Every structure is written in C-alpha cells, then in structure tokens.
Structure 1
Amino acid sequence: MTELSDVSRTAVGVARLRALETNRPDRLFADPYASAFVPEGTPDNRAGTSVFRLHIVIRTRFYDDYLLAATAAGCRQVVLVAAGLDTRAFRLSWPAGLRLYELDLPALLAYKEKVLTAEGATPSVARTVVPVDLREDWPGALRAAGFDPTVPTAWLVEGLLVYLTAEDAAKLLTSVTDLSAPGSQVACEHRDADGQHSPGRMAKATPDLAPLTAMWKGGIPTFDWLAGHGWKVESHNGNTLAAGYGRDTDGPTGNFVIGTRA
C-alpha cells in the first residue's frame, strides 16, 4: 500500500467504514472484501469514523440501489469513475449481458487487483478495469477498452468531485455528458444548500482531519450543472434516505443527485 498517493489512501479509509457496516447485524449492505483492503496495523482514524461513517454507509446503499435500478431500467453499461476499492462488480447481482468499467489510478487499481486475487474474488458481471489518470484522456482509454457511447450507461461518480477544482469537475462531467446516450443516468454527491447535514463542513471543523480536507478543492454544484447541461435531475436528502433505511440519523449524511439523459 506504500505506493498509493495520499488521495488514493482515502479509499482504504472508506473500505474500513464499509467493513464496519458489514459486521453489523442490521447492515444496509454486505461487502465481504472490504476488510481485506485494510492492512493489519492500520491505525483507526476515530475522527474520520465519527464524521464520515454514516455518510459512507448511506452513500454506499443509495448508490447500490441506484445502479441496480438504472440497469434494470435499460442501462447496459456501468462506469464507475474513480472506482477506488469499490467491489460492486463482485457483490451485487447484475442483469445478464451487462458490461461494467472501473476507472482509477493505475497504482490503486493494481493494489485492488492484488487483494481481490488473494481473496479469490470472482466478478458477477463482465468487468473491465481501465487504469487511467482522470486528468488525462480517460474517455479515449474507456472507448479503447470497449465502451460504446451509443449504449445507455449508468455512471457513478462517487466521492471524487470534492477533490477537483470547479474547472476540472466541469470538464469531467462534460465528458460524461458527451459519452451518454439517451436514457443514460449519472449519480454523484451534491452540496447541501445550508450545510446543515454536510459531512464536509464537520470535517473542516475537525482539526484531526486537516490533512484530508487540505486535499479538497471544492468541486462543483452538481445539481445546477447537470440541470443546465441536458440532464433531468432529482435530489435525495441523506437524512431522509437514512430514515427510510431504518437507520438513526446520528451523524452527517450528505445529499445526492441522479441525472437522466433525455
């Protein structure tokens, strides 16, 4: 894991939180590989757990449901942008004939493949890994890997945009838009207007999380951007989602958007 960048290492922290949820008797999802991504002796970041645990749990479950609903509705491709240590290709039940693509930095994906191979993990979908820097020509790399822009696609941009400048976030979403056939969908986080339920705001107020928040560049107001670029957008409040899942809202949950391409 020493070869991972600081940003990539945050994926290990997210895997730890998924592992904690998996061990709960009332878990909202099961990720049997999450704990394998966390090396023994890795210190527990209590501040990070306190601020982000509920957010990561609700986010993971919400995006699970989104992807399964989008593929059931006709999306025949799934693209996980900045896939990190996501294991949905292995732990979800996908429709037949689906293709799933995972994009992320080469070192992170190499670490991921090493762990999954050691665990004997077998994907439940046709899975293609695309090692690429998202600051470079990732659309070209995705096409070269077999992606078909004429086929409706379910995109997931999870936990990424806050690490990008507004300019870079807009560039990425423009590429997603350009590659999206009618009927495609995209999901990502978006900032709460008043910040009341924002894990980001709490993180910035937590001194122990300063190394993490120093990497954030702000991202972009995704609801407004998508609505202004040909997507029909709906927003989802994290606290409402948590209540619907039967989980007490004992921490910041964040909010989410789903866009549909007409």
Structure 2
Amino acid sequence: MREDDDQWGITESVGVTALGVASGRAMETLRPDGLVDDPYAEAFVDAAADEIRLPARPEDARALAAEQEATEADWQEQSAYIGVRSRFFDDALTAATTDGVRQVVLLAAGLDTRAQRLDWPAGTTVYEVDQHGVLDFKDGVLAEQDATAAAPGAERVVVRVDLRHDWPAALRDAGFDPQVPTAWLAEGLLPYLPAQAEIDLFDRVTELSAPGSHLAVEHFGDIVAHLGGADSRLASLSRRFGIDVRELFFADDRPDAADRLGELGWSVSGRTASELAGSYGRPLDPDLAQLYGAARLLDARWDAPR
C-alpha cells in the first residue's frame, strides 16, 4: 500500500508504471499508423528486462501472451491509450511553443523523452521533475543512447525532487523563471498523488505561472474509485506488470481537476480519451474504452494578470 512519503526505483511501485508507459510508446512507435514516434522507449524496456518483462515489439507481446494471463491484443490495447494521450500532449506542448512559450516543465517526467524527440524552437528549456531513482535510471539509459541532451536548439534540465516536497524551490534553483510563460505537463500523475498533494500542485503551478502560460493535464476523476474489482481490466494489467496497480492509486476524495483549475483562474478545455481517439482515426477498443475512455485530457491557459 502507498504511504505519503514513499520512494521508488524504476522496477518498483509507481516506477513500474513509467516502464509500462515506455512499453506502450515503444509498441505504438512500431505501428504503421502510430500516434507517437519515440526512438528511445524500447531502450528503457530492454534495460529493465532482467527485473520486469514488458513488450517493446509485437513479437514480445506474442511471447509474453504465451506465459501470462494476457493476450497480444491486451498489450496492443494498452499501447493504444498511451498513443492517444501522448499525441494529445505532444500537440499541446507544440501549440504552447507556437504561442511563444519557451519554458517547459514536465511534472513527474518519468521516462518521457519529449525533450529529445519533439521539434523545439531555439531557446526552449525543458525541465524534467521527478524522483531520483527514476531519473537516475532514465539518464543511464539515455547516456548509452548518446541522448541525454535535448533536441537541437533546446536545453534539458533534470530536477530531482519529489512532487510532495518543495519542488518549486528546486525548480527555481535549477534556473526556472516564474516571470515568463511556462508550458506545464501533468501526464500520468494525479492518481498517484494524495488529494492534498494534488490541490497543492495546482496551487503552486498557478503561483509560478506568468500570463500566457499553458497547462496540460490527464484527469481520471471518479474513474479511479471504480477500478478495484478482482475481475477488472486493471486487475489483469496488475498481473501483467507483476504489481497490484490498484494499490498505487490514492482514491481519496478530491476536487474535479477542471473545476479546480477554473476556480484558480485558468481557462480550461478538454476532451475524453474516447473522443480524441475517434478524432485521430484510432477509436478505442470497447473494453479499453470502458477502462480509460472517460479519462479527460485537459488543456488550460493562464491569462490573468499578477
């Protein structure tokens, strides 16, 4: 079970979910109609294979299906949702930089490689905020790929701090400037935070945001409270990952993310994962839609004067 100040490496607790996302991006990258192109995702999965086996290629999914209570289709479904949300957030960050933003903060960056794989305008700084264990693993793998630096024209800055601690101070110490617009990303994060930490996160992001800032958020809302059944899709996912994913969530009551951001002064828009998947020409499988389809992917803008 989770504790308020627990820590983890990449093959334990919440760290495993970062590997699961990398697995999904690797599988999606190899699809002819893939929604994301991540040339480094496969390397993360391979680097952890001695401790946890996840697919990075279709043949991996077939081999694992023969050993687990899962099918190749189960793995493909998981990668489909990862593809949809990755595409949405890629587009949101690209739109922010098109709007003139040159400061990007990836909250709980995990194994995100947007610093390397997106086309950033010259002068962009990408801050990656996460726990030591996760970022140490990530940098080790990227070093082997000669990819620790950001794409040409941008700078990547790693900030090793827990988001339940004083991360704004760590971010400022790393060079972050709250007086200029920022593009914030909270992807695959909120369910893993206690309610008060989520409230504090939005408060702090708002305090650090200059007019013209953007914020993109993955919001599950009440979905988390309904994922715990022994026969649920999430239970199947837990068996595949080797940890009980259901125990990683904090299911305590919390304000709706879109409502809370609106109260703070953000202009918020959003679409469900099912709606987005349809718009991308990749509708979610009915079972997957039942699990993830109602998740909302939010895009918010801060224009209020200080």
Q: Is TM-score (shorter-chain normalized) higher than 0.5?
A: yes
Q: 2:90 aligns with which of 49, 64, 76?
A: 64
Q: 2:170 aligns with which of 141, 162, 186?
A: 141
Q: Does 1:123 align with 2:123?
A: no
Looking at structure 2, the residues matched to 66 and 223 of structure 1 have their Cα atoms a distance apart, in angstroms, of 16
Cα RMSD after superposing both structures: 2.2
- Cα distance change, pair 27–255 in 1 and its aligned pair in 2 (3 A): same
**Equivalent residues in 2 for 1:58-137, closer than 5 Å:** 58-121=84-147, 122-124=149-151, 125-137=154-166
- Cα distance change, pair 182–135 in 1 and its aligned pair in 2 (3 A): same
Question: 1:174-233, CA deviations, whole angstroms, 9 ceiling, x for partnerless residues?
Answer: 1101000011010111236xx7xx588457523333711111013642101101111011
User: One-letter code of the match for 2:18?
Assistant: A
- Tell me the CA shift for residue 49 of structure 1: 3.3
Looking at structure 2, the residues matched to 203 and 83 of structure 1 have their Cα atoms a distance apart, in angstroms, of 26
Looking at structure 2, the residues matched to 220 and 14 of structure 1 have their Cα atoms a distance apart, in angstroms, of 26
Please name the residue that 1:40 is paired with. Answer: 49
Number of residue pairs matched by the alignment: 257
* Identity fraction in percent: 44
- Tell me the CA shift for residue 235 of structure 1: 1.3
- Other structure's SS at 1:260 match: strand
- Cα distance change, pair 203–29 in 1 and its aligned pair in 2 (3 A): farther
User: One-letter code of the match for 1:235?
Assistant: G
Q: 1:248 aligns with which of 271, 275, 283?
A: 283
The 10-residue stretch of structure 1 (139-148 or 23-32) with the greater mean CA deviation from structure 2: 23-32
Looking at structure 1, the residues matched to 104 and 86 of structure 2 have their Cα atoms a distance apart, in angstroms, of 16
Q: Could you list the runs of 5+ residues in structure 2 that have no partner in the other structure?
A: 1-7, 55-67
- Cα distance change, pair 29–199 in 1 and its aligned pair in 2 (3 A): farther
Looking at structure 1, the residues matched to 9 and 195 of structure 2 have their Cα atoms a distance apart, in angstroms, of 28
- Cα distance change, pair 29–228 in 1 and its aligned pair in 2 (3 A): same
The 10-residue stretch of structure 1 (218-227 or 141-150) with the greater mean CA deviation from structure 2: 218-227
Please name the residue that 2:65 is paired with. Answer: none
State the 4+ residue runs in structure 1 displaced beyond 3 angstroms.
2-5, 44-52, 198-204
- Tell me the CA shift for residue 240 of structure 1: 1.9
User: One-letter code of the match for 1:81?
Assistant: L
- Other structure's SS at 2:248 match: coil
TM-score relative to the length of structure 2:
0.78
Question: 1:142-197, CA deviations, whole angstroms, 9 ceiling, x for partnerless residues?
Answer: 000000001000000111110112211001111101000011010111236xx7xx
TM-score relative to the length of structure 1:
0.91
Q: Does 1:21 align with 2:47?
A: no
The 10-residue stretch of structure 1 (203-212 or 75-84) with the greater mean CA deviation from structure 2: 203-212
Contact 1:79 1:155 in 2 (8 A): yes
- Other structure's SS at 1:214 match: helix
Contact 2:159 2:170 in 1 (8 A): yes
User: One-letter code of the match for 1:23?
Assistant: L
